[in-house]
Amino acid sequence: MTGVERMALSTQPGNWVANVLRFVRPRDVAAEDYCNLCSAPLAANHPHLVEPAKHRLLCVCRGCATLLGNRDDNRYRAVPEYARRLEDFRMTDAEWDVFAIPIGLAFFVRSTPDRRIVAFYPGPAGSTESLLDLRAWAQLVAGNPILAALEPDIEALLVNRVKGAREYYLAPIDRCYALVGLIRTKWHGLSGGEEAWKAIDEFFAGLHELRDNAGACRHG
């Protein structure tokens, strides 16, 4: 027997929270959209927590994000909601070339468990970690002091130098993973294909705006 049928007959209010949420957020409650910590159904634009020690990104409800995201023990860290374009960022082509990253897209994260800066670039197989020239990074920080304030584990320097672009962002880490997911699913052949590039353009256009439904969840 299933409870749902019985609950309809009960004189008790039953699973009223689930019933309200199912009506209010019908598109959001899909098979896997549950809070990774408390199993509450999730909205599409749910927040994320990083568990640095386990290199994990968790989809969570607002309650868990608020209650667990900013504790002193730093077991979980709340991912910021917004990306910030760094208008005054300075990086020459020569400085970029030193990093030897094969594509004009990359993100740099200060990793607490690894105790260093880690660089990733997206590709059709997911994200690839790049061995970083630490002197080159130090030089970049010297020229752009804002990088010293990069929040470890939850925020990245996102670099977009494809097709002549020279854009730099302080981006929430979940958005960086979203970009990786996007490229993994849309990239075809050697050059990526029109669809992939269109998706990448849209991603960066959307990065200026508020966290939207599309960007927040596609980090798989």
Partner 1 sequence: MSTGNGEDPQQALHRLQELIRVLDAHPDPAAKETTRELLALVLDLHGIGLAKLMGIVTAAEDGTSILARLVEDKQVEAMLLLHGLHPDDLETRVRRAVERLRPHLGVHGLRLDVVEIASGTVRLRVHGRSAAMIKAPLLWMLPGEIEDAVVEAAPDIEKILIDGLDLEEAAAAVRAAE
Three-state DSSP class for 94?
A: helix
Minimum separation from the CB atom of position 18 to partner 1 (A): 5
Minimum separation from the CB atom of position 49 to partner 1 (A): 14
| 5 versus 93: smaller Cβ distance to partner 1 | 5
Per CB under 8 A, 191 contacts partner 1: no
Which residue type, as a one-letter code, is found at position 102? P
Residues written for the chain: 220
Minimum separation from the CB atom of position 69 to partner 1 (A): 9
Q: Residues near 150 by Cβ (< 8 Å), separated by ≥ 6?
A: 108, 109, 110, 156, 157, 170
Please name the residue ranges forming H helices in 25-92: 62-68
Q: What residues numbered 21-80 form the site for partner 1, per CB under 8 A?
A: 21, 23-26, 31-32, 34-35, 37-41, 61-67, 70
Piece of 1-9, 86-94, 142-150, 178-186 that binds partner 1 (CB under 8 A)? 1-9
Tokens of 189: 């052949």
Sign of the CA dihedral with 83 first, then 166, 92, and 190 last? positive
Query: In this structure, what is the dihedral angle of CA atoms 103, 203, 23, 2, given to the nearest 10 degrees?
Result: -10
Applying CB under 8 A, the site for partner 1 has a residue count of: 38
Contacts with partner 1, residue ranges (CB under 8 A): 1-4, 6-7, 10, 12-21, 23-26, 31-32, 34-35, 37-41, 61-67, 70
